[in-house]
Amino acid sequence: MPVDPEVQTVLDAIDAAGNPRLYIPGEEAAARNSYRAAGLAAPNSLEGLDVRNIELPLSGRTLPARTYQLGEPKATVVFFHGGGWVVGDLDTHDRLCARIVRDTGAMVVSVDYRLAPEDPFPAPYEDCWDAFAYIEARRGEFGGPKIAVAGDSAGGNLAAAVAHQARDEGVALDAALLLYPALDCEGQYLSAQQNASGYRLTADDMNAFIAAYADGADRTDPRMSPMYGQREGLCPTVIGAAGYDPLRDESTAYAEVLAKSGVDVTLRLYPTLIHGFFGMAAVSKACDQAAAELTADLARYL
């Protein structure tokens, strides 16, 4: 099944521009600037939303965050942005957060965690867990009473890791939305070979991102690779995966092991789409439909 024609148009434009790498080690500033420019250039609308920049006072530090609200929220979604743990920020993911708000009626709190390689594992994970714990303890101030985590790509990895910790800490988490997540930093999967290049996120990019984040740490640590964690008792989990994504098979494998462990899991595999499709809704009807389906899945738990 070929790539969705509207998505292919985007890939053709990237190819015409020389198909630049997302990340080359040692060139963090250039990667961040390029990723940010692409994110800000994408169609986006915050019209009608109450958007506020805040600071989360955590132990020994503060973290920037951004809240998105439309009317009286009925729940809270703590969101962690993607970007391979190396690039990305609050601004690059405005459109994803706005979509979740509009489709679910929840307040979204987007967390701006520290990035590798300057701050490798476990710093990004610790920021995300501490931010979630702070928000969860004050969920009445952030839209509650129900609360979920969400993230895309590396953010999906962090959301899954936070869900594991929430279970271990006895924190009631209502759902997790994982968009084309990185779930196994150690394993080798067929999709990484099949989709190694030509679909924006390459296997070389992913390997470089993981190396920067891991920085020599044990890649089977469940806080880095949720695939290796205990699965029983995890919250309901919604996973969105793309057919032309190096990370596709991690999603399907994770969904399978969750289901075998009795977890309420929904896997949506979109065979004609690529990594990053949730943020491409404005340029592809298929991406828009996929985003709507995934947010509807999340809304059922909120």
Q: Are 83 and 154 in contact (CB under 8 A)?
A: yes
Q: Is 275 annotated as catalytic?
A: yes
Q: Is 153 annotated as catalytic?
A: yes
Side-chain-side CA neighbours of 172 within 13 Å: the count stands at: 8
Hunting for tokens 């290049």 — which residue is that? 197
Query: Which helix (H) or strand (E) is 200 found in, with range?
Result: none
- Which entry of 81, 89, 93, 153 is annotated as an active-site residue? 153
Q: Are 273 and 179 in contact (CB under 8 A)?
A: no
Please tell me the distance from the alpha carbon of residue 300 to that of residue 282, in angstroms, as a whole number.
Answer: 24
Structure tokens at 177: 């939305």
Q: Are 2 and 272 in contact (CB under 8 A)?
A: yes
> Alpha helix locations (H) across the chain?
5-16, 28-41, 94-104, 123-137, 154-169, 190-194, 203-214, 248-260, 285-300
Q: Is 264 annotated as catalytic?
A: no
- Which entry of 81, 93, 164, 275 is annotated as an active-site residue? 275
Please tell me the distance from the alpha carbon of residue 211 to that of residue 59, in angstroms, as a whole number.
Answer: 27
- Which entry of 4, 127, 205, 245 is annotated as an active-site residue? 245
Measured between its terminal Cα atoms, the distance across the chain in Å is: 34
Please tell me the distance from the alpha carbon of residue 276 to that of residue 246, in angstroms, as a whole number.
Answer: 12
For residue 61, report the phi and psi dihedrals to the nearest 5 degrees.
Answer: -165, 165
Q: Catalogue the active-site residues.
A: 153, 245, 275
